[in-house]
Structure 1
């Protein structure tokens, strides 16, 4: 038996179930980016909200759109949009049936009608998880008008495929009809994500030649800032087997795994919304910035270090990397000593958050791969690494972890250019970065200078720039010429 609504009566009592009838849901939320994170995060909070609100909550069904491929949308439709969340706790795995998604579509399908769905008066909220690269931003946070996908969306008559393009088209239809626009909630790890997304959509509208729409978006549409946090690894071959066992033999073709930790910090906005705070870890706050900065720098920045340095040492998961004595020590020092720059929280809270993060990273049930964390580094580098690094250098504080992270990242591209990197490399600037490594193959300083010269990634030159270049180049040379684990052991002992 395959998981669907008809199978629900056969689900064992040990599995958590929706507190409502999924068949009765009506669409109230449109989501762009129906990946694992969305299904383990916003969808779980929405399910809790629907259950808490009872009959009134049935208006908060999610229409969730896959952005790149139709496969997941097809699979979920065959399961009546039900799937299993496998919460990987230290003591074992807990299964929950998730039913907050009422419809799944593929953004590339004209029949999906995403623009019309955004303009549907029932749609009160649009949420997004399209990853940082999905917004096509420069290092300064502006929409990149030369991005190929943006140029395609700007072609007359094109079906919009990017998040800024879809939102601009949907909001144009809302404005044309004189309706109240939905609230737009960006749930990606982008600095000041609400304001940044608003500006990107306004920029897109202006590029489309509609300055009036851009102005209306800026003055009328709400884009609250948010911060999201839950480690949701890529699905593995064991997930369907675990789901089938916990579901008493029922087959689920789209299960997902997640850690127990859940956090969703949402800035203020007006209008109807689900009672998301029914899910533990959801908070509505006046200012999201301090939570966002702590998470981007301490969690996401440390993840990047573990991914780039760890993979070079054949430590290909977060748990393996952080449990390595040398890299684990380096990461703890980096997280607390460097990545707390400009995080305006008491020292005791920063200490506790550091301990919580390291404990979460060590969870053996979460297989969080370096390959996945390492994707799109050029789109993540500025907010997660360079911002605190710049602040630390200006204040005279050491930055050994940031230097190691950058050197390790460059080494990824050097190995990839030589076809010697065993994991795949995904980055919007991959071709250019590989070319830099090819042009300066034996010149480590030249590679570092060329990488750091990319202001669309790193911003303007770092304080004490030449010294930073020399230090990173020295690390890059050691990572190239010596055993990486030995290098890490030496760095940890300093």
Structure 2
């Protein structure tokens, strides 16, 4: 077997080292294949000339592969774009280094000293932009991402430096506004002063944004094939679809600061991102979130598996047509066209998008992607949307023990683990926990009873039988 060298700057001496212009919280698969890949496109065209300093947002041990590969990695694009097959591989060199605030907090705060660092981007998952009252200014570092950010911003303010453009990529509604709100709460808690809070508003720009690219992650099972093709070993390689959309709600000056459009990238800077967000979150991410617990419980592994399974693809189609599209305030033909494109993207045979990877933080994803539709459906139609209720049933069932590998915050898993085991008591306890859902879901007439019945049926018959009944029943709902 041929031995290939690992990817590093010693094996790729042709790569330019660019000055640091961006502070990036989170270096997971998505950010590397989305934001860092876009930075690379701008750098390749001589439009940006900058790199990103990666900040580790959580305390878990850093992946040492980053340093071993000199923060280089390959983005593999597979799929169809404008009717043409795409199968490309590109080394991305837009990350300069990693700063770990848990091991060197002073090094982290020192980022505030460099005025060339003018942009902050983040993707700390939906659970990242949360207020943690236990965070303190004296902590080194504060546990939460907003707390870390507040400390960094205050250091910049104290030095008399310029403000930042802050663009969070977490998939929550009005992410920039919520992040700024939490930063100000920390400023009040920590008594950092009114001048600092005013500086946050006048010298900084917090943008709301929406990201869209399917990124399955590392190409597992293809390692040998890719080493033969690329001529090197890359333990950070990441696969993605060619399609990309980034909607940024902010001033026109962002187009100059980040010349994405000049690089031919599908980035929209707008005064109101609401229509784009609702379409994407509910018609792409919503079906993802709904299919995951059901698919995992049925033994399916990927999104493609779901779409190639008649019962599951029928469920996805019914969910979109009868429950999601009717609750969105956009032109019907536009929604249908987008939904058809989404389902085609789900069927991309070149992308192995594992359900397990999508399952990370499923509770917060359900809360942001499907719960608003459920609430509106009940409010307007006075009945429960069956597809969403079934998705919630499967989520509760999968979190109620070890039926699937649960990937969520420890505090969320603890709530499920200490809940009563009997469905009659388990369901009201979980629905009534406002830290999970933002409200007491027991107040929705009929929801607890429907979930209790479906939990029992999942135990007896399994997810496939319930899906069959739902799809065969068409739009049948539970009247309130």
Q: TM-score, normalised by structure 2?
A: 0.89
Counterpart Cα distance in 1 of 2:450 and 2:295? 20
For 2:476, the equivalent position in structure 1 comes to: none
Q: Does 1:447 align with 2:447?
A: no
Q: Does 1:33 align with 2:23?
A: no
Cα deviation for residue 373 of structure 1 reads 1.8
For 2:48, the equivalent position in structure 1 comes to: 57
Call closer, same or farther: CA 1:342–1:488 in 2, change over 3 Å.
closer
For 1:168, the equivalent position in structure 2 comes to: 150
Cα deviation for residue 31 of structure 1 reads 0.3
For 1:430, the equivalent position in structure 2 comes to: 413
Residue in structure 2 matching 1:94, options 82, 88, 92 = 88
For 1:46, the equivalent position in structure 2 comes to: 39
Q: Does 1:285 align with 2:278?
A: no
For 1:374, the equivalent position in structure 2 comes to: 359
Secondary structure (helix, strand or coil) at the match of 1:326 reads helix
Cα deviation for residue 360 of structure 1 reads 1.2
Counterpart Cα distance in 2 of 1:485 and 1:403? 15
Cα deviation for residue 241 of structure 1 reads 2.9
Secondary structure (helix, strand or coil) at the match of 1:227 reads strand
Counterparts of 1:76-87 in structure 2, within 5 Å, are 76-87=66-77
Q: Does 1:405 align with 2:391?
A: yes
Secondary structure (helix, strand or coil) at the match of 2:211 reads strand
Cα deviation for residue 27 of structure 1 reads 0.5
Cα deviation for residue 479 of structure 1 reads 1.0
Counterpart Cα distance in 1 of 2:244 and 2:222? 20
For 2:163, the equivalent position in structure 1 comes to: 181
Call closer, same or farther: CA 1:49–1:198 in 2, change over 3 Å.
same
Secondary structure (helix, strand or coil) at the match of 2:333 reads helix
Secondary structure (helix, strand or coil) at the match of 1:209 reads coil
Maintained 8 Å contact 1:319/1:362:
yes
> What are the ranges of 5 or more consecutive residues in structure 2 without an aligned counterpart?
474-480
Cα deviation for residue 300 of structure 1 reads 1.5
Secondary structure (helix, strand or coil) at the match of 2:356 reads helix
Counterpart Cα distance in 1 of 2:106 and 2:257? 24
Cα deviation for residue 122 of structure 1 reads 0.4
Q: Does 1:23 align with 2:16?
A: yes
Maintained 8 Å contact 2:21/2:116:
yes
Residue in structure 1 matching 2:122, options 123, 128, 133 = 128
Secondary structure (helix, strand or coil) at the match of 1:316 reads coil
Q: Does 1:491 align with 2:463?
A: no
Maintained 8 Å contact 2:163/2:200:
no
Moved more, 186-195 or 279-288: 279-288
Deviation by residue 1:111-135 (Cα, 9 ceiling, x = unmatched): 6722221442001100001111122
Maintained 8 Å contact 1:107/1:161:
no
CA RMSD of aligned residues (A): 2.3
Q: Does 1:273 align with 2:248?
A: no
Cα deviation for residue 98 of structure 1 reads 0.9
Q: Does 1:469 align with 2:448?
A: yes
Cα deviation for residue 155 of structure 1 reads 6.1
Deviation by residue 1:195-239 (Cα, 9 ceiling, x = unmatched): 011111111222222242344324542111110011112424335
Counterpart Cα distance in 2 of 1:112 and 1:333? 53
Counterpart Cα distance in 2 of 1:165 and 1:460? 25
Cα deviation for residue 466 of structure 1 reads 2.4
Call closer, same or farther: CA 1:157–1:104 in 2, change over 3 Å.
closer
Counterpart Cα distance in 1 of 2:86 and 2:259? 29
> What are the ranges of 5 or more consecutive residues in structure 1 without an aligned counterpart?
10-20, 138-142, 146-150
Residue in structure 2 matching 1:348, options 333, 345, 365 = 333
Deviation by residue 1:266-293 (Cα, 9 ceiling, x = unmatched): 1123465121222432111221122112
Counterparts of 1:408-423 in structure 2, within 5 Å, are 408-414=394-400, 416=401, 419=402, 421-423=403-405
Q: TM-score, normalised by structure 1?
A: 0.86
Cα deviation for residue 489 of structure 1 reads 1.2
Maintained 8 Å contact 2:318/2:471:
no
Call closer, same or farther: CA 1:311–1:369 in 2, change over 3 Å.
same
Cα deviation for residue 99 of structure 1 reads 1.6
Number of equivalences: 458
Call closer, same or farther: CA 1:466–1:128 in 2, change over 3 Å.
same
Counterpart Cα distance in 2 of 1:200 and 1:42? 24
For 2:477, the equivalent position in structure 1 comes to: none
Counterpart Cα distance in 2 of 1:331 and 1:341? 15
